[in-house]
Structure 1
Amino acid sequence: MKKTVILIIVLAVIAMWGISQYNGLVTSQESVNTAWSNVENQYQRRADLIPNLVNTVKGYAEHEKGTFEAVVEARSKATSIKIDANNLTEEKLKEFQAAQGDVTNALSRLIAISENYPELKANENFKELQAQLEGTENRIAVERRNFNETARTYNTTIRQFPRNIIAGIGGFNARPYFEAAEGSEKAPEVKF
């Protein structure tokens, strides 16, 4: 009888520990999901600003049709890629990053056009949209960094013993990180 009580107590302690570890993993996973939602939110903010920016520039630079089309196409492609935070894989994240990189490149060309139009650069609406876009780009960088930090904490947690056993049983998988764009390790060449 005494051995049975001790065995029940030991099993109860192990079960409580397992439940606690599992709940901690769920909390950590939800932190990663929240961080991912924040990243998507900032990219959506940028996507929402793009039509206003394009229309403002269009009014001044009618003959830049190819650039406008590139911006709209890149935005359309980027907003069509939907990634569920629970199924975030390295391949899906790379596809998402590539599409967002295309948006960044197209926006850079659009902003460069403004240099040819002094009256556009002086337009208050354009200046406000450009400031909002710059602020959004900074927010994107911050949220990507926060996501990477949260994913690192989560990935470390699910790999540590003995949580890795609970993580394996519970189906908790590692999350990929945002990485620098290919070629970003090279400094841009400046020519005068």
Structure 2
Amino acid sequence: MQPALINALIVVGIVVVVAVIVGAVLWSARKSLAGRAHRVDESWQRIEAQLRRRAELVPRIVEAVEGYAGHEKAAFQQVVVARDETVAARTPAEASAAEAHMQTSLKAVFAVADSFPQLQASQSFLALQTELVDSEDALQGARRSYNGGVREFNTKRRSFPGSVYARKSQFAERDFFEVSEPSSIAEPPRVQF
């Protein structure tokens, strides 16, 4: 064989090997991004389930407190509006705003409930409070899991080789589920037993 032909075959071989390696790296990046995106979507579904679970408790809590303090219509209306916002939320940004409103509204309802010792002693109200505490704990756990997944996804998306693939694909950066007013969840509704 001629040296020029051998050199050409070597160059073609190197180009093919490099192309295969680049293709494998990009395929791996796409697969990794897709897996992380799927985990983020699953985590968001868990958050939505917890938000719905808590939203189902709200009318029962309002009904229990309203029986003792029917004159506090404003607090009850606010918590019902917050519940509707929570149920209607479809994105992390919408859910974050609804969450802040819900926490503020629940605090107002429990402040009203605090002024009625008979209500505080009611077994059904105590059971509702326990359910709410469990719901809040589950929601915060789901929120931490979701935000951790979003952090991993966004980091992978921004770093090489994920950044190369993400620019040309459907893998948009994900939003965190953060409350616009952190003080509203720093101290969740006070529940006394």
Which amino acid letter does the alignment assign opposite residue 99 of structure 1? A
1:78 to 65, 69, 86: 86
Q: Which amino acid aligns with 2:177?
A: F
Q: State the AA in 2 paired with 1:39.
A: I
Aligned letter for 2:81?
E
Q: Deviations over 1:27-76 (max 9, x none)?
A: 01111111111111111111011111111222222222222222112211
The number of equivalent residue pairs is 178
**Are residue 137 (structure 1) and residue 145 (structure 2) matched?**
no
Q: Percent identity?
A: 31
- Whether the 8 Å contact between 2:95 and 2:177 is mirrored in structure 1 is no
**Offset of residue 165 of structure 1:** 0.3
Question: 2: distance between equivalents of 1:78 and 1:17?
Answer: 41
Paired position in structure 1 for 2:190: none
Change (3 A) 1:180 1:80: closer
Instruction: Write the mapping of 1:85-164 to structure 2, written as runs, cut at 5 A.
Output: 93-164=92-163
**One-letter identity of the residue aligned with 1:40:** E
Q: Is 1:22 aligned to residue 30 of structure 2? A: yes
One-letter identity of the residue aligned with 2:58? I
On the 8 A contact 2:97/2:179 being kept in 1, the answer is no
CA 75–38 in structure 1, closer or farther in 2 if over 3 Å, else same:
same
Q: Which has the larger radius of gyration?
A: 2
Q: Contact between 2:43 and 2:145, CA under 8 Å: does it hold in 1?
A: yes
State the match for 2:43 in structure 1. Answer: 35
1:8 deviation in Å? 4.4
Matched, 1:166 2:174: no
Shift in alpha-carbon separation, 1:32–1:130, aligned structure 2, 3 A: same
Partners of 1:184 and 1:139 lie apart in 2 by 19
Pairwise CA distance, 1:15: 2.6
Give the deviation of 1:20 after TM superposition. Answer: 2.1
Q: TM-score, normalised by structure 1?
A: 0.81
Q: Secondary structure at the match of 1:59?
A: helix
Aligned to 2:55: 47
Structure 1 gaps, min length 5: 84-92
> Which residue is 1:60 aligned to?
68
Whole-angstrom distance in 2 between the partners of 1:181 and 1:105: 12
Structure 1 residues 27 and 183: alpha-carbon distance in aligned structure 2, compared to 1, 3 A threshold: closer
What is the alpha-carbon distance in structure 1 between the residues aligned to residue 24 and residue 179 of structure 2? 42
Root-mean-square deviation over aligned CA pairs: 2.4
